[in-house]
Structure 1
Amino acid sequence: MSIETVVDSNVDSPARGGDGPARPGPRAVVIGSGFGGLAAAIRLQAKGYATTILEMRDKPGGRAYVYEDEGFVFDAGPTIITVPFLFDELAEVAGKRLGDYVSIVPCDPYYRIYFDDGSVFDYVGDPDRFEAEIRKFNPDDVDGYRRFVEYTRKVFDRAFTDLAHHSFHSVWEMAKVAPDLMRLRAEVPVFRRVSQFITDPRLRVALSFEPLLIGGNPLRSSSIYAMIHYLEKTWGVHFAMGGTGALVDGLVRMFRDIGGTIELGARAEEIEVERGGVRAVRLADGRRLEADVVVSNGDVANTYRKLIRPEHRRKWTDRRLERMRYAMSLFVVYFGTDRTYEHLPHHAIILGPRYEGLLRDIFDRKVVADDFSLYLHTPTRTDPCLAPPGCEGFYVLSPVPHLGGGQDWDAIKEQYADRILASLEKDHLVPDLRKHLVTKRIFTPKDFETQLDAYMGSAFQFEPVLTQSAWFRPHNKSEDVEGLFFVGAGTHPGAGLPGVVSSAKVLDRWLPPVARTEGA
């Protein structure tokens, strides 16, 4: 039975919170409670689908997990919130107000970038202040920067405003936008595009690193992703008080308030397929949840490889999935200190001596280099409640190859973590860090594979290159199984909070609201 038939034949829908008793509607199962899964589940439940989220871990959030130790609270995954209105919009869909569930506040600066030569760039939202930072490095680049911003505006207007919620379910949908992509020179990598406007080598790095935030290599990611700069300029960089986990908790409460169900410790073992369409989700504990709609927020490659039998997959075969290009992984150290470092910003980018060479080591050679560039997250700068009084909470992240590099992370993780922590022991960063260390936890590419079920240990699924974007990505609506849909980093529009939340909105094309009857 098609989804359209289920929707048209239904007579009632589950009531929203406060609307009275719920009545049976089409059954939806969402696998995974990351931001894409939560957004999809809220939308489905609000539309009238009886929706259940299955989360294999003991807490919701997926990659946005939360660790707690010695009074410290660590966000495990995403820490940068851009385009916060997407969460306001999600709350409106549910008939709620986001502010009743979570408080989101702006960060200033967005990032502080520390270059290896000792220079510092404050990446801010105010245009005049930003141009003053450009002028500090090279006054002649101010005009080039203005032209770069105008270019990013054009890309943003087409790639985000028009296409982020667009369904690329057929090649004809891609053909419609191909002329615009050609006009915007989408085939040119971000770093090369920035270099056409900017001459100072440090500024070229400062204006091209952002694809790394979604798993992309600036040396080959499409210049479409230059729009991230304009997106941040327009809506800013924000943080949820209480940590990103507080945003997860708020969305879970919102989902439950409108009648949704979430099960923790519930691992999906198989998506049962009958006559080409989803029939049920079988759990590891042997239970079966019958479903008219299944939405996977899990890793796309492993959803197909592990949950759907090969005889039901004509397009996304194991062989095809193995041939896809996978994004980098991450090495993360979560740590807390028994003193504070008031001079640090909330978000810091700490660059090593190499940029292009390091990127090639990570993405092409797939080796763990002797040098590294780091992202240092200090959430207690914005919310001191995430650590005990007088203490500071951090995580530091190093981009590394996915498991295709063949590294034995169990053997090298302690040494690599110590090298990273030692590199931070500078007066302008975290002096005497290891003397003040209270707690430490390490997360490696192997953990991405074992704990998050990420194929190849990739932190972002498919690398965001032009030939793996839009129509070329696994589609939001499965080409192999009727009634199966995908949200999250592995489908359109891609990784990052705006991308995964927008992926749930793409489903509106196929999953319209369930009609209510008189008196419902």
Structure 2
Amino acid sequence: MERVIVVGAGVGGLAAAVRLQNAGYQVTLYEKEPLVGGKMNRIEEDGFTFDVGPTIVMMPELYREVFELAGRDPDDYIPLTKVEPLMDISFGPDERVRLSNDLADLTSTLEGVSEADAQGYFTYLAKLYGRYRVAKDNFLQRSFRKPTDFYNPKSLVAGLRLHTLGDAYSSVSRYVKDDRLRKALAFQTLYIGISPYEGPSLYMIIPLIELLYGVWYMPGGMYALAEGLRRLFVELGGEVHTSTPVERIVIVDGRARGVMVKGELRLADAVVCNADFPYAMKELVADERTRGKYTPEKIDAMDYSCSCFILYLGLDKRYPAESVHSIRFAPDFRKNLDDIFEDGRFPDDPSFYCYAPCSLDDSLAPEGMQTLYVLVPVPPLAEGGPAWSPDEVARYREQVLDLVESETVYEDVRNHIVCERIYTPRDFEGRFNACRGATFGLRPTLKQSNYWRPHNKADHCEGLYFCGSSVHPGAGVPIVLLSARLAAEELMTDDGAHASQVRAVAAERAVIAARGEAAERGMAAEELAAESVVAAGVAGVETAVAAGGEGGSR
């Protein structure tokens, strides 16, 4: 195996492409959008720069790992600055809690509520750290192919130690009595698109990771990661095609043989798909045997994460916001989430998240101005839910800006908007092929997690692998980076002994190239000979595709 095609240049596809190119494979990456990054995208307008999707850097070691694997200094690609305070949380106009990475400051904040709650908070964090270690070693950093990979004594014991049956909010409530602190610990399940009243208590490791490992910022915004990965991939010899949508993954005789692009067959020995898994199963995989249980009907019936309604505001004024990240909680947070996850409607009283990075990075706006990103969790697209017509969008915008002006430092923000863009679930569906506009992919319920989440290796097809937020281990940038690692490892495991041969050939080519023009001419002759050997196989695949040999149709 030597040639690999990666479908989709989201952060998972980019990271998988870098890993495989570095391992000696020749990787070609196809992306439908003009920019790489997927939902980790960028808006540049009138001198303002906005991150489209993710804004919070957690678990920086996973970001750095991809660059270190290639022998690069991550600071040359994604320099990081620690964010302090961690976050401001508002429960009303005059009721705020500031979370800090500094232990002394955090302790002071907690004791300001009550010493009993401070003790309960730290006790709970200690228990979560034990669960985090179990999850990391037994589930997050390993893939599942067959039932015995999960249904075995070691995994079952580990699963029991995780205490996953309770929901996140109930889990923290046993240790912390103040409802504000409960919400401050539990709301982070929304980072992966699930309500804390529904999400398994395992996902309480998210606030643990924030507090223990910190929150970080990349100069230039989160898109710096996408740019850095692309740059590294090209430096390693990878090939990127943007504005080039893949029309179909070609399956012949139970094996992925390439992709169709602009009506042409692009051959490969393996395919890594970073497109949203539900979309890929419905639109890119025509072979019914490869789909297996993931029929169109099954995909439609699965549970989807929430989506996002986001205002990107360029302001001609700098406001005195002390925190890069802040949250406004609705007084009735439970009803707010029920509106989204149970009733499927825009919440009557929405909670929202504000991101104001110009306090750290002046490059994102003209002098004396700033950007403001306001994100409201909303339901995924569904019959009976918001249609996101222009009138609805305008009405929701006014509703959100009323709250921003009355409950944050942006008290006259409407008067200072000089640049504005809005994203709704329809943008996430149309631009990024997110099924039902679900920003975080499949909802990480117990029945859609671990072994029961779509696998990194296709169950019924050789040479086909998946990464991204809808496959194992789940959503969130650090976890998607893990999915890229698992997909690449699965491919190399299947390649077996030949993988080491590929790496040896790549090293040999590098040495020969460095010897000068004469050696290069000799290498060209060798490659020409190799191509003639491959040609017979290429012709066979083309004949099979022309004859309808994919074994199924949409």
The interval holding the TM-score normalised by the smaller chain is over 0.9
**Which letter does structure 2 place at the counterpart of 1:476?**
N
CA separation of 1:460 and 1:519: change in aligned 2, threshold 3 A: closer
Alpha-carbon distance, 1:180 to partner: 2.0
Kindly name which structure, 1 or 2, has the bigger radius of gyration based on alpha carbons: 2
What is the RMSD of the two structures over their aligned residues, measured on CA atoms?
1.5
For 2:523, the equivalent position in structure 1 comes to none
Q: Does residue 221 of structure 2 align to residue 225 of structure 1? A: no
Q: CA separation in 1, counterparts of 2:136 and 2:325?
A: 24
Q: CA separation in 2, counterparts of 1:514 and 1:447?
A: 43
2:93 touches 2:408 (CA, 8 Å); kept in 1? Answer: no
Q: 2:356 aligns with which of 362, 366, 378?
A: 378
Q: CA separation in 2, counterparts of 1:504 and 1:165?
A: 11
SS at match of 1:426: helix
Q: CA separation in 1, counterparts of 2:478 and 2:360?
A: 22
Q: Does residue 387 of structure 2 align to residue 408 of structure 1? A: yes
Return 159-168 or 204-213, whichever deviates more: 159-168
Q: CA separation in 1, counterparts of 2:150 and 2:409?
A: 46
SS at match of 1:409: coil
2:190 touches 2:196 (CA, 8 Å); kept in 1? Answer: yes
For 2:471, the equivalent position in structure 1 comes to 491
SS at match of 1:115: strand
Alpha-carbon distance, 1:163 to partner: 2.7
CA separation of 1:88 and 1:128: change in aligned 2, threshold 3 A: same
Q: CA separation in 1, counterparts of 2:386 and 2:249?
A: 33
Return 151-160 or 191-200, whichever deviates more: 151-160
1:155 touches 1:226 (CA, 8 Å); kept in 2? Answer: no
Q: CA separation in 1, counterparts of 2:36 and 2:490?
A: 27
Q: Does residue 312 of structure 2 align to residue 331 of structure 1? A: no
SS at match of 1:206: helix
For 1:303, the equivalent position in structure 2 comes to 280
For 2:157, the equivalent position in structure 1 comes to 179
Q: Which runs of 4+ in 1 moved over 6 A?
A: none
Q: Does residue 321 of structure 2 align to residue 343 of structure 1? A: yes
1:49 touches 1:514 (CA, 8 Å); kept in 2? Answer: no
String of CA shifts for 1:69-111, please: whole Å, max 9, x gaps.
1100010000111111112211121221111122111101121
1:112 touches 1:347 (CA, 8 Å); kept in 2? Answer: yes
1:61 touches 1:245 (CA, 8 Å); kept in 2? Answer: yes
2:135 touches 2:162 (CA, 8 Å); kept in 1? Answer: no
Q: CA separation in 2, counterparts of 1:428 and 1:191?
A: 26
For 1:18, the equivalent position in structure 2 comes to none
The number of residue pairs the alignment matches comes to 495
Q: Does residue 418 of structure 2 align to residue 418 of structure 1? A: no
For 1:281, the equivalent position in structure 2 comes to 259
Q: CA separation in 1, counterparts of 2:161 and 2:226?
A: 39
Q: CA separation in 1, counterparts of 2:232 and 2:197?
A: 40
Q: Does residue 144 of structure 2 align to residue 164 of structure 1? A: no
Return 376-385 or 124-133, whichever deviates more: 124-133
For 1:85, the equivalent position in structure 2 comes to 61
Question: Which ranges in structure 2 are unaligned for 5 or more consecutive residues?
Answer: 494-498, 510-554
Q: CA separation in 1, counterparts of 2:437 and 2:414?
A: 28
Q: 1:47 aligns with which of 23, 36, 39?
A: 23
What's the % identity of the aligned pairs? 34
SS at match of 2:92: coil
Q: CA separation in 2, counterparts of 1:437 and 1:344?
A: 20
SS at match of 2:247: strand
For 1:250, the equivalent position in structure 2 comes to 228
1:324 touches 1:462 (CA, 8 Å); kept in 2? Answer: yes
**Which letter does structure 2 place at the counterpart of 1:134?**
L
Alpha-carbon distance, 1:514 to partner: 3.9
Q: Does residue 52 of structure 2 align to residue 71 of structure 1? A: no
Q: TM-score, normalised by structure 2?
A: 0.87
1:315 touches 1:479 (CA, 8 Å); kept in 2? Answer: no
For 2:181, the equivalent position in structure 1 comes to 203
Alpha-carbon distance, 1:427 to partner: 7.1
Q: Which has more helix, going by share of residues?
A: 2
For 1:12, the equivalent position in structure 2 comes to none
SS at match of 2:50: strand
**Which letter does structure 2 place at the counterpart of 1:295?**
V
